Amino acid sequence: MSEVKLSAKIRDTFGKGSARQARRDALTPGVIYGHGTEPKHVNVDAHALQLALRTPNVLLSLDLGDAGTELVIPKAVQKHPLKRSISHVDFLIVKKGEKVTVDVAIVTEGDLAAGGNMLETLQNTISVEAEATHIPTEVTVSIEGLEAGATIHASDLVLPAGTTLAVDGDIAVLQVVAPQAEEPAAEGTEA
* CATH number attached to the domain at 99-177: 2.170.120.20
Please, what CATH class does the domain formed by 3-93 belong to? mainly beta
Complete DSSP assignment for 136-155 = -SEEEEE-TTPPTT-EEEGG
Please give the pLDDT value at position 115. Answer: 79
* Partners of 104 in the β-ladder: 126
Domain boundaries, the chain: 3-93, 99-177
> pLDDT of 142-183, one tens digit each?
998 888 889 999 999 999 988 999 999 999 999 999 887 666
